[in-house]
C-alpha cells in the first residue's frame, strides 16, 4: 500500500506484467513494420516510461517523437483535451504509430486523430499500454494494446495523481477502502462538533451535520429544502428519503474528500440501512461508528455553562437536558447493536482535554487506515 497526497493506492499490475505487455505490443508492431522505418510518437506526460521500454523491445530501425496532451486534473478527466506540444515535422508519407499510456473514454484518441488528420502520413495507427475497453466510446480502432483493465483510477509507470507517482515501476489502483467514512455519536455536550472540526482537517474528511444541511437547504429555498419545510410546517417528520437525498447531494459535491463524518444521521436502524444502501452505490461504506462517551453529570454541567453564552433555552434547563439524554439513549441503543454486529462500533472516552479526546479518536481512525 502506498500513499500519494491524501489518497491510498494498492498494488495492481506488477513490473513484470507491464514488461510482458510491452513486449507483446513490440512484437506485433515489429511483424507489421519490419520492412520500413516507422515513426513512434509518444503522448506526454504519461507515456514517457512506456515509450522508453517499448523502444528497447522493438528490434528494427525506427524514429521517435512526442506530442503532449492533457485532460486530467486530480482523479478525474476534465473532458477537455489540450494540445501542449504539437505534431512532429517531416512525417508526410511515413507510417506513424501513436504510443499512449492509457486509453479510456476516447477523448484523447479523438484529439490525436484531429492533430494528424491533415499531415498526409502514409499510415496512422494507435498503440496503448492500458486499455479501458468498457468505457471507450469505440469511435476509432485501437490497433495494439498491452492489456485491458477495469475502469479504476491508477497511478505508476508514468501515470500520476496530481503529479505524484509517475516514477513508480509498477502500477497501483486507488484503494477506495481507505476512504474513511465515520458516523459520530454522542449525547448533547459530548463535543461532537468540536472533534469533527479537528478530524476533518487532520484527515481531509467532509463533516456533514444533518442539522446544518437542513438549515442550508431550507434557508436557500432548494427543492429539497422546500420539500423538507413542507413536512416540518405540518408538524410531521421529514421522510428518510428526503434526508438521504440531501446527504447524497453533499457527498457528490465533495468528490475529492478522503471520507465523510456523518453527524446527526443515522438516528434509527432504518436510517442506518438506508445510508448503507446509498453508500454502496458510491462504492463506499461506513467504516466505523464512534460514540463519545461521558458521564451524564459532567455533560449536564457543560451544557448549563454553554447555555449561559449560547442563549439556547434547551441548554439552560436541567430537566430538558435529561429528557434529551433519555431520547438519545432510547434512539441510539438499537443503532449501537446494529453497528456492533458489523464490528464497526467504537466507544471513546469523551472526558479530558480537547487534544486528548482528539488523540483517542485519531487512534481509531489510524487503526482503520492500517487495515
Q: Which residues are catalytic?
A: 192, 267, 306, 312, 324
Rounded Cα–Cα distance for residues 130 and 101 (Å)? 6
- The grid coordinates listed for 185 are 455519536
Give yes or no for a cis peptide into 266 (omega within 30° of 0). yes
Rounded Cα–Cα distance for residues 81 and 233 (Å)? 49
Rounded Cα–Cα distance for residues 11 and 2 (Å)? 8
Closest CA to 184 of 168, 203, 166: 203
- The grid coordinates listed for 292 are 463519545
**45: phi then psi, degrees, rounded to nearest 5:** -90, -25
Number of other CB atoms surrounding residue 157 within 10 Å: 27
DSSP state of 137: -
Please name the helix (run of DSSP H) or strand (run of DSSP E) that holds residue 41, with its range, or none.
Answer: strand 39-44
Number of other CB atoms surrounding residue 152 within 10 Å: 12
Report the residue count for the chain: 371
The half-sphere exposure of 140 on its side-chain side, counting CA atoms within 13 A, is 20
Rounded Cα–Cα distance for residues 224 and 283 (Å)? 24
- The grid coordinates listed for 47 are 507515456
Strand partners, 10: 173
Contact 43, 151 (CB under 8 A): no
Determine how β-strand 259-263 pairs with β-strand 171-174: unpaired
Number of other CB atoms surrounding residue 287 within 10 Å: 21
Amino acid at each position: 500500500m502506498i500513499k500519494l497526497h491524501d489518497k491510498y493506492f494498492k498494488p495492481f499490475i506488477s513490473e513484470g506484467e507491464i514488461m510482458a505487455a510491452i513486449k507483446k505490443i513490440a512484437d506485433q508492431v515489429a511483424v507489421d513494420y519490419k520492412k520500413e522505418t516507422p515513426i513512434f510518437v509518444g503522448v506526454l506526460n504519461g507515456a514517457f516510461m512506456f515509450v522508453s521500454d517499448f523502444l528497447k523491445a522493438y528490434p528494427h530501425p525506427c524514429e521517435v517523437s512526442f506530442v503532449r496532451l492533457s485532460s486530467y486534473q486530480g482523479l478525474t478527466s476534465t473532458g477537455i483535451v489540450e494540445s501542449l506540444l504539437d505534431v512532429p515535422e517531416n512525417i508526410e508519407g511515413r507510417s506513424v504509430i501513436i504510443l499512449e499510456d492509457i486509453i479510456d473514454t476516447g477523448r484523447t484518441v479523438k484529439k490525436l486523430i484531429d492533430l494528424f488528420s491533415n499531415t498526409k502520413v502514409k499510415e496512422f495507427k494507435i498503440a496503448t499500454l492500458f486499455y479501458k475497453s468498457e468505457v471507450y466510446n469505440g469511435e476509432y480502432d485501437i490497433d495494439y494494446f498491452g492489456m485491458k483493465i477495469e475502469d479504476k483510477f491508477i497511478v505508476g509507470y508514468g501515470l500520476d495523481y496530481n503529479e505524484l507517482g509517475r516514477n513508480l515501476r509498477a502500477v497501483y489502483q486507488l484503494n477506495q477502502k481507505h476512504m474513511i467514512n465515520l458516523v459520530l455519536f454522542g449525547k448533547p455536550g459530548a463535543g461532537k462538533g468540536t472533534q469533527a472540526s479537528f478530524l476533518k482537517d487532520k484527515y481531509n474528511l467532509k463533516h456533514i451535520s444533518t442539522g446544518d444541511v437542513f438549515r442550508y437547504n431550507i434557508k436557500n429555498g432548494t427543492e429539497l429544502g422546500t420539500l423538507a419545510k413542507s413536512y416540518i410546517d405540518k408538524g410531521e417528520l421529514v421522510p428518510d428519503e428526503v434526508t438521504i437525498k440531501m446527504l447524497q447531494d453533499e457527498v457528490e459535491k465533495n468528490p475529492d474528500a478522503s471520507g465523510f463524518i456523518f453527524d446527526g444521521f443515522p438516528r434509527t436502524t432504518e436510517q442506518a440501512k438506508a445510508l448503507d444502501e446509498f453508500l454502496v452505490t458510491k462504492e463506499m461504506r461506513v467504516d466505523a461508528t464512534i460514540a463519545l462517551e461521558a458521564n451524564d453529570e459532567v455533560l449536564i454541567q457543560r451544557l448549563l455553562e454553554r447555555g449561559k453564552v449560547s442563549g439556547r433555552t434547551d441548554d439552560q434547563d436541567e430537566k430538558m437536558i435529561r429528557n434529551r439524554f433519555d431520547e438519545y439513549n432510547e434512539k441510539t441503543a438499537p443503532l449501537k447493536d446494529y453497528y456492533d454486529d458489523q464490528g464497526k462500533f467504537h466507544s471513546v472516552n469523551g472526558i479530558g482535554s480537547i487534544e486528548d479526546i482528539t488523540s483517542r479518536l485519531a487512534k481509531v481512525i489510524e487503526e482503520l487506515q492500517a487495515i
